Each structure stands twice: as structure tokens, then as C-alpha cells.
Amino acid sequence: MEKRATIYDIAREAGVSTATVTRVLAGHPSVKTATREKVQRVIDAHAYTPSASARDLERGQTKTIAIVMPAVINPYFTRVYNAAYREAEACGYYAWLFQIEEHKPIPRELVDELIRRRMDGVIFAGGIWSTQRTGLPEALERLRHYMPVVTICPPAVDLDCICIHSDLVACSRLPVRHLHALGHRRIAFIGGSMRLNDPSKRGENFLEELRALDLPDDPAYHVDAGFDAESGERAVLRMLSGLDRRRWPTGIIAFNDQMALGAIKQLKQMGLSLPSDMAIIGCDNQFFCPYTDPPLTTVDLHPEEMTQSAVRELLLARDNQAGAFSLMREASLIVRESCGAKLGYRKLG
């Protein structure tokens, strides 16, 4: 690779000092037009681009924020990442994604790397971590000395940082009430169960909603599973095959849309027709929801808006030194046809 021109080369060739070159680069006003043009010509001639390492070293900042998330294979995280990238860009920053494994501790090495690379801030996202097992609090404790941190995840125990999250109570209430309003009485939940120490408490919230409506909270109506489509299949199979047909639920709420996808397949395979024999609701409003058969009713957590707030608050926190606080984003039910209703967009309190 070629030897790069440095600011000294440019200064020498333009017959000025490096300070003047810096001024031209920064668009500083106190440079004579003639000088500016002369320097600019040399810059252009060499296609000179100043070294970010050198600048960062001197300035003590990198104009870069880190996003730490589980694999972007999951479309939800794809949306988070995209929103972060765009918002950062709009604020004159770059976003850098660091992937972690969903259910493993955050590697110490990664935390070090974020500090080494002098990130101007970090966003941790991940709705389904168990904060205990991932060691988020410890990572946070270390990072907070060096950079502001914002999390996009359930407001779990004593995370001493800015926390953006969605209304996870509504996230359970909306679908339960929707099904209830449509006449369903036996409602089940698949995935991300309470037994997994799920900080989002989706399972617990689900149960509470059932109780609030005097519906049966039969333990057979919620089963553990992974978070992908195949888990959805398995969960449905496991639940229904263990249950006398007369006790089958009439509606199923899935932890996310992928699981709903799998559930739909399994239900059809068992000979049920949807939505008449079984209603189903997903979560996340993924791109494929309008294209399932029947189109999937789901909950939208508005990850883009949450992420946008996260980036803004992060950048604000750099200056303000603001303490910990949390911000909640409401959830919306997106009604399609998988519950038999065809009402367009609608919110339930």
C-alpha cells in the first residue's frame, strides 16, 4: 500500500505551516482566500485525508458510539441497529456494532475493547437478557467511568444508567385483552417464560393479565421455548399434545413473530384452520407479518423510536453528565387477521 501524505507534506508543499492546513481543513474563517485556495489545491492533488487515529488521540474523542447487541440475525435487532446507525449519522457520529451471544456473559475482552477504542458512548440493546447472567451490571460499572451508557432493555434491577424500554406490561396486556374482547377465554403463551429468569417479565405479565380478567391461568398454558420459528413449532406441539382437546386454548400469544410463524405452521399441520380454530398473536411487527396466512396480528414495540431516543440521550449525557433515569415507549397492537378480526390499526388501553 502507498505511503500516505501527512499534514506535514501538505504544509511543506503549500508553503505554509501545519496550523494553516488544519485551519483550512476545519474551515476556520481567519484564512486568506488566496491561502485557502492554495492549500486546498495541494490537498486535492494528493487526495489527502487526515488520520483519524492522530486526531482522536489529540482530541480524546472518536465521534463513534458502540452498539452492543445479540446477533443481528434476529430482525428485531436489525431494526435497532439500523435506527442507531441513522440517528448517529444524523448527529455527526458513526455507529459501530459489536455482537455478543445472547445468553452468555458479556466478554470482558469486549468491554476492554470499547475502552481501548475510546468509544464516545455505548448502547446495550437486548430485550431478553437476563441481566444477572450476562454480567451487564459489572460491565456497566466498569464502562461508566469512561463513557456514557444507555440500555435499551427491560428496566431490570438497579442498572445505574439511562434505560430506554418499551411498555412491557402493555405488551402482554394488549394481546390478552384483544383476545378476551373477541370472546376468547382460554389463552396460552409460548416462549421466554418466567422460569428463564426473563427480565422482560413477559410471562409474569401475561399471567397477571389473565388473573385480572378472571381467566384460567393453567400452568399448561405457558411453555418454555427458544426464540426462533422452530421453537414456536415445538412449543405448540408440546403444549397441545399434553392437553386434552377440550382444554385446548383458543388463542395463543407468542413471545415474538418468529415463534408465531412456527406456531402457525404447526397448528396447520395438526389440521386446525386459522383463525377459526385458533387465534394467534405475535410480537415485533416484523416485515413478514402481513404475509403469513392468515396475516399476523402483532404488537409493535417501536424499536426505531426507542433507539433514536437512546442515541439522543447518549449524546446528551456526554455533556450534561445526567444521572440514571428511564424512559418508556408505549406499545401498539397491530391488528390483522390472525385472530379473526379485520379492523385495521387499533389500540387497546
Partner DNA sequence: CTTAAAAATGTTATCGGTAACATTATTTTC
Partner DNA sequence: GAAAATAATGTTACCGATAACATTTTTAAG
Q: Using CB under 7 A, list all residues that contact DNA.
A: 4, 6-8, 15-23, 25-26, 29-32, 34-36, 48-51, 53-55, 57-60
Q: Choosing among a copy of itself, DNA, none, which partner's interface includes residue 99 (Cβ < 5 to 8 Å by kind)?
A: a copy of itself
Q: What residue has cell string 445479540?
A: 70
Q: Environment class of residue 44 by beta-carbon count within 10 Å: exposed (0-12), middle (13-18) or buried (19+)?
A: exposed
- The candidate with the shortest Cα–Cα distance to 102, out of 82, 73, 142, is 73
Q: Choosing among DNA, a copy of itself, none, which partner's interface includes residue 6 (Cβ < 5 to 8 Å by kind)?
A: DNA
Among 19, 45, 71, 270, binds a copy of itself (CB under 8 A): 71
Check residue 256 for interaction with a copy of itself (CB under 8 A).
no
DSSP 303-324: HHHHHHHHHHHHHHHHHH----
- Minimum Å distance from CB 144 to a copy of itself? 9
Binding mask 281-320 for a copy of itself (x = CB under 8 A): ------xx-xxxx---------------------------
Check residue 275 for interaction with a copy of itself (CB under 8 A).
no
- Minimum Å distance from CB 206 to DNA? 49
In the bound state with a copy of itself, the residue whose beta carbon lies nearer, of 85 and 124, is 85
Secondary structure E strands in 135-229 = 149-152, 162-166, 187-190, 222-223
- Residue 49: CA count within 13 A, CB half-sphere: 3
Check residue 56 for interaction with a copy of itself (CB under 8 A).
yes
Q: Which residues are registered as beta bridge partners of 163?
A: 151, 326
- Minimum Å distance from CB 262 to a copy of itself? 7
Q: Which three cell numbers stand for residue 16?
A: 505554509
Q: Which residues are registered as beta bridge partners of 69?
A: 99
Judged by CB under 8 A, which stretch of 45-53, 151-159, 218-226, 324-332 contacts a copy of itself? 45-53
Q: Choosing among a copy of itself, DNA, none, which partner's interface includes residue 197 (Cβ < 5 to 8 Å by kind)?
A: none
- C-alpha 169 chain-centroid distance: 18
Q: Are 222 and 193 in contact (CB under 8 A)?
A: yes
Check residue 97 for interaction with a copy of itself (CB under 8 A).
yes
Q: Which three cell numbers stand for residue 231?
A: 421453537
Q: Which residues between 143 and 182 bind a copy of itself (CB under 8 A)?
A: 145-148
DSSP 159-173: --SEEEEE-HHHHHH
Q: Which three cell numbers stand for residue 110?
A: 469486549
Q: Choosing among DNA, a copy of itself, none, which partner's interface includes residue 2 (Cβ < 5 to 8 Å by kind)?
A: a copy of itself
Residue 15, sorted as left (phi over 0), alpha (psi -120 to 50) or beta, turns out to be left
In the bound state with DNA, the residue whose beta carbon lies nearer, of 36 and 144, is 36
Q: Choosing among a copy of itself, DNA, none, which partner's interface includes residue 345 (Cβ < 5 to 8 Å by kind)?
A: none
Count of residues interacting with a copy of itself (CB under 8 A) = 52
In the bound state with a copy of itself, the residue whose beta carbon lies nearer, of 23 and 186, is 23
In the bound state with a copy of itself, the residue whose beta carbon lies nearer, of 204 and 228, is 228
Q: Are 145 and 165 in contact (CB under 8 A)?
A: no
- The candidate with the shortest Cα–Cα distance to 132, out of 162, 99, 105, 160, is 105
Tally Cβ neighbours within 10 Å of residue 109.
Answer: 8
- Minimum Å distance from CB 318 to DNA? 16
ω into 275 cis (within 30 of 0): yes
Check residue 78 for interaction with a copy of itself (CB under 8 A).
yes
- Minimum Å distance from CB 299 to a copy of itself? 19
How many Å apart are CA 97 and CA 146, to the nearest integer? 18
Residues of this chain that bind a copy of itself (CB under 8 A): 1-2, 4, 47, 49-54, 56-57, 62, 71-73, 75, 78-79, 81-82, 85, 94, 96-99, 112-113, 115-118, 142, 145-148, 228-229, 258, 261-262, 264-265, 268, 287-288, 290-293
